[in-house]
Structure 1
């Protein structure tokens, strides 16, 4: 299970091979009557399919070949239902942040706000709290939901404690949260480089995209080009086809077949060494 959250959190490739492994884990946990783990692996596979652009409908919703959220939750009760709702909501808030859907962010934050910050699984906790913290700062500054800003501060405090314990990934994630709290080109650049050095490829892409959006909103279309194109290639390297499709729809220049990869190899986290380092940074 920890390896699954590490895979998603670090931005390792999303492909059919990984999907086959998840199916194997899903089948084995089902045979062993481990319903909680079985649900996590089903949710993991549906998250994978949605991000790969293979959702049967809305990619923000879990209703597909791997998992139908409504049906799955109806079959649970008590603590199993509580934990199942937490795990599904963690994946869906990640989808909401990646696909930039504030309505779904708010829905998932409402589900998750009653759960304690701490979790027995370090990798699951970092995955859930990183996206929850980002969602809090995105919607908390754009709506009347001030309570989300308080939750974000609690998550930052928790990450700082992990930083002191030597958790590399939370150092970079703390910088990302700071960039979202007080956005500027300098802060986003720091977050981008921190994620690249930590091997957190999809968070690197997220920060590139958010910076590009900020620059574009300031009226500097040309200045946003490098950030959007770098985000596009990072998402594409991971296999997040649902996201690259969304970016091309929003920013037509990304569909240009003559587009060249930006010359940022010095800080790009696509190297094998960076990937190998990331597993340990996520507690695996």
Structure 2
């Protein structure tokens, strides 16, 4: 079965990079999260799908099951610590463990000059992107630590390393994730758990279209011109398919990257190289 973006669920058959693993993905119903969940399942993992909208996640779960893997849909809001704890408990109850945690959920935040941003808008961006990641790790990591095995992958952004006009809260929150991942890798290393970050560039889909519209408006140019300028900044002269991000996540989650931790992998068509 082929999902949007090219992921073939069940293509890995009985093997795959993650054969027999259990992976939890936040924000698994749409966009990058959907593609990640389907890729992990294609690589042999059973998947815990978490997020606020259960309808899209049930559709993803149906594709996972059709490919021969198990799927559990759990409502979870990164603004609500109790729901995060409940999701971790549900995953443990259903599968007995979680081997991989993919912190994908995030919000774009406001798009306007910093001096026009309301404190509530700033706080909400950090509440989801940074504190939400902290709370998910806090809920899911004890089991990995106890088993002395696991992999955590956090979805950051190249905007955490390069400017994006009128997106200060988003940029600051994504930069914060780099420090979180590097430090957490040191804390978890002695327990056999790895932590890494993936920094996508402009990923094809609804969110980048919104970003391009905001950039075009701020700069007084057309959306087509904004898209061309964005793509021109990379050696490959294009945006990034969501499936490419999912492949990177699957590799970092798997034993193939057993000696990689605390790292930041750019999947940006070369837009960022550091």
**TM range, smaller chain:** 0.3 to 0.5
TM-score for the superposition, normalised by structure 2: 0.35
- Taking CA–CA contacts closer than 8 Å with sequence separation of 6 or more, which of the two structures ends up with the larger relative contact order? 1
TM-score for the superposition, normalised by structure 1: 0.34
Write 1 or 2 for the structure with the bigger share of helix: 1
Write 1 or 2 for the structure with the bigger share of strand: 2
